[in-house]
Amino acid sequence: MAVRNWYPLPVAGSEAGGRVFADLMRLAEMVEPGQPGWTRRVFSPEYLKSRELVWELMGSAGLEVRRDPAGNLIGTLQGASPDQPALILGSHTDTVAGGGRFDGPCGVMAALEAVRRIGERGGRPQRTLLVVDFLGEEPNDFGISCVGSRAAAGHLSSGHLRLRDGSGRTLAEALAQMGGDPDRIAEARWPQGTASAYLELHVEQGTRLEEAGRGLAVVTAIAGIHRAEIRLEGRADHSGTTPMDRRSDALLAAAEVSLGVERLGRRGGLGVATVGRLELEPNSPNVVAERATLIAEYRSGDPSWLAATDALLQEEVTQVPARRGVRAQLAWLSREGPTLCSEELRSVLLASAREVGEEPLELASWAGHDAVQMAAICPVAMLFVPSRGGRSHCPEEWTDPEQVEVGTMALTAAVARLAL
Ligand code: HGY
Ligand code: MN
Ligand code: MN
């Protein structure tokens, strides 16, 4: 594979080197008022507004921009051989509540910059290049993550579109409010063979690069994630007049289930388990909790660990409520198995990292990504850049401009290898 070291290696701070970071910081300003950190949740007005900026940045980079029925923003740089399957780059720009500025946007802006540099070098790449800002990668109030990439993979079902949030709004309605068209969701699916590969640059969201003093990692595999909603129905009672032995307290049952989930994560083997969301009704200080709804999630690179955890969680959700006179219901929200990154693409990313002077680590990802969904339609691979202190999903999330630039150069080198 002839590789011409044709592109200038801009250093961070130079016009080209500084563009990515400048774009990142511009996007970071578009946050939900009154929310901690750099919050820009999918379906929020600020997220909708931020898509205008992403659209503008894609357009000013010379891409033809469109929004697909799933609300994904897709920038296209036509190749000289349009009949060849396209190379897709992307990530997401929505955040978790209280999130940071880099989880997702770093990948979208680096992808945009890589294609911009390819375009600026003159001539056309052989392959058509697509830069995608996938809608709604983070879990949302409808209980599912990766909405846009799920649609691209043909995995966003009519059942998903009927899911409702706390206000009763359906996912279909929310998508329409984001400029999507749920009635045409099938058109968002990328037919097999239209994509040659999907590359995603992402912040590591862990400490392994920082501890190793490295600037880049090539991802080997992405952990599988199982998520379940558990509803616990007790009985609302007066907190003063109801004797302790006559209560059906949904909150205490939820507390026991949550500690049980922690035990599942700590039982050894290759996994982690979390309860990060708990809603109570009536949520009053002087009422024994009638209803508790929690979302449990667990992750592993080992499918058998995930399957075993499914069974243990179901046991937990049966035993605890029985002890507490509380009724329980478990509903699976999503169950994705581990995703292997393409060996061939990993070697392209390894060579590209070395081309820009980095000796990369090879790491598994415990975070989920749009690449998981894209793996259904083409080979995928990911590059990680460091996260300061390993922090992510919090305002402290940070990656240095120079580190973003090194990742962008490596991504550009990989695009050059795969598309020129
Ligand atoms: O949950 C995750 O791993 C990703 O940030 N959505
Ligand atoms: Mn995230
Ligand atoms: Mn992410």
Beta-ladder partners of 300: 224
pLDDT tens, residue by residue, 142-192: 999 999 999 999 999 999 999 999 999 999 999 999 999 999 999 999 998
Query: Given a cut of 80, is residue 74 above it in pLDDT?
Result: yes
Contact between residue 132 and residue 201 where contact means Cβ atoms under 8 Å apart: no
Task: Please choose from 92, 102, 144, 145 the residue to mutate so as to test ligand 1's pocket, defined by most ligand atoms within 8 A of CB.
Answer: 145
pLDDT tens, residue by residue, 283-331: 999 999 999 999 999 999 999 999 999 999 999 999 988 899 999 999 9
- The backbone region for 136, taken as left when phi is positive above 0, alpha when psi lies in -120 to 50, beta otherwise, is left
Q: Residue range 385-414: average pLDDT?
A: 96
Rounded Cα–Cα distance for residues 216 and 214 (Å): 6
pLDDT of residue 6: 37
Q: How confident is the model at residue 23 (pLDDT cuts 50, 70, 90)?
A: very high
For each of the domains in the chain, give its residue range(s) and CATH number, in order of start. Answer: 15-223+338-419 (3.40.630.10), 225-336 (3.30.70.360)
Contact between residue 20 and residue 113 where contact means Cβ atoms under 8 Å apart: yes
Distances in Å between the Cα of 112 and the Cα atoms of 82, 135, 164 are 20, 16, 34
pLDDT of residue 11: 43
How far is the centre of ligand 1, averaged over its atoms, from the C-alpha of 11 (Å)?
Answer: 30
Q: State the residue for tokens 């007005």.
A: 45
pLDDT tens, residue by residue, 332-357: 999 999 999 999 999 999 999 999 99
Rounded Cα–Cα distance for residues 329 and 318 (Å): 9
| Environment of ion ligand 3 (residues, CB < 5 A) | 103-104
Chain centroid to CA 42: 11
pLDDT tens, residue by residue, 101-128: 999 999 999 999 999 999 988 778 999 9
Query: Given a cut of 70, is residue 100 above it in pLDDT?
Result: yes
Atom of ligand 1 lying closest to residue 299 CA: 3
Atom of ligand 1 lying closest to residue 393 CA: 5
Instruction: For residue 365, give both structure tokens.
Output: 């990802």
Q: What percent of the chain has pLDDT over 70?
A: 96
Q: How confident is the model at residue 73 (pLDDT cuts 50, 70, 90)?
A: very high
Q: Residue range 396-400: average pLDDT?
A: 96
Q: State the residue for tokens 């070098």.
A: 121
Q: Strands 86-92 and 129-134, how do they pair?
A: parallel
Rounded Cα–Cα distance for residues 204 and 214 (Å): 12
Q: Which residues line ligand 1 (CB under 6 A)?
A: 103, 137-138, 145, 367-368
Answer whether the bond into residue 360 is a cis peptide, omega within 30°: no
pLDDT of residue 215: 97
Q: How confident is the model at residue 17 (pLDDT cuts 50, 70, 90)?
A: low
pLDDT of residue 4: 38
pTM, full prediction: 0.93
Classify burial at 137, counting beta carbons within 10 Å of its beta carbon; exposed 0-12, middle 13-18, buried 19 or more: buried
Query: Given a cut of 80, is residue 5 above it in pLDDT?
Result: no
